[in-house]
Amino acid sequence: MGKSRRDCNRFFYRSMVLNTTSQYTTTVTNSAQCIDLRSDTVTLPSAEMKVAMSNAILGDDVYGEDQTINDLEARCATLFGKEAGLFVVSGTMGNLLAIMAHCQRGDEIIVGRQNHIHRWEQGNYAQLAGVSATTLQVGSDGTMNLEDIEEAIRVNDSHMPNTRLICLENTHNYSGGRILPLEYLKAVHELATRHNLKVHIDGARIFNAAVALGVKVSDIAQYGDSVMMCFSKGLGAPVGSILVGSRLFIENARRRRKIEDYSSIHAFYKDVRSQEPVSRTALRRAEATLAGVWENLLLECMAD
């Protein structure tokens, strides 16, 4: 129980944070008895993460000279069964870079109406990538109907945008963390292949899906041409995400990160490189953290 309580203190802010004034909080009394269940992003880095960050050897990632980042990207690529990876600041940034790398301006994506990419990322695919979207209804299980997806694919007509990409989300946040079955992912991937389309998986919480399904992350990632995963979603890192795919895709995504319209975010990225060791530590503990803690963590926190 002691170990779980320590993890509880790391995963859920206690005391002061619940009395912090913001549009997302309500002032409460006796907040030491409360736990913050708003999101798995409101986490505290462990002591191990802080040590890793302070001891990190830094280089310039633009020149490919930050070996710490290089190692993390290579490790994630192997873990996901892909050729290469790209460390980014956030999941939103990773998803946008994926769309930009897969699509040209004027192209179209197919995405769930309740998917994070469409609902919670400010329509950035339109703002910055010049890409439009056909949005489909998402079922209570987090999936889009296969027939709806196929019907949404544009015919080759100069009056229409070209459909290039199908975007999935696993686990599906808006549906309550629903896990997309491997059979469904395979079916979508086969559909996309028939129509010469690509599949991007917003896998912000893909480790949760892997643990629940009892499979490796690569078993899920094999059905996406690209996958994004967040280190800050339940893994305890304060910032950072990874985008993985083919070597050519990652080279394209890296170039997109540098373009003028995205320079402000890229400049911010250069200043947070010391966060990468935290992400690496979170990744190393991911499976043990999710599989071993979540089974009894909430009950113990409430009892405490």
- Tell whether the torsion through CA atoms of 82, 97, 266 and 241 is positive or negative: negative
Mean of the pLDDT values across residues 238-252? Answer: 95
Predicted local confidence at residue 15, as pLDDT:
40
Q: What is the pLDDT of residues 177-223, one digit of tens each?
A: 999 999 999 999 999 999 999 999 999 999 999 999 999 999 999 99
Higher pLDDT, 10 or 249: 249
pLDDT digits (tens, 9 = 90+) for 134-148: 999 999 999 999 999
> What is the average pLDDT score of the chain?
83
Pull the structure tokens for residue 3: 């170990």
With b meaning 16 or more CB within 10 Å and e meaning fewer, what string describes 142-162?
A: bbbeeeebeebbbeeeeeebe
Which DSSP state fits 82? -
pTM of the model: 0.83
Q: Name the band, by pLDDT with cuts 50, 70 and 90, for residue 120.
A: very high
pLDDT band at 291; cut points 50, 70, 90: low
Are 197 and 226 within 8 A, CB to CB? no
Give buried/exposed letters for 195-228 (b at 16+ CB in 10 A, else e): eebbbbbbbbbbbbbbbeeeeebeebbbbbbbbb
pLDDT at 13: 41
The answer to whether 52 and 281 have CB atoms below 8 angstroms apart is yes
**Torsion angles phi and psi, residue 6, rounded to 5:** -65, -40
Domains annotated for the chain, with CATH where assigned, are: 2-38+292-303 (no CATH), 47-290 (3.40.640.10)
DSSP conformation class of 154: P
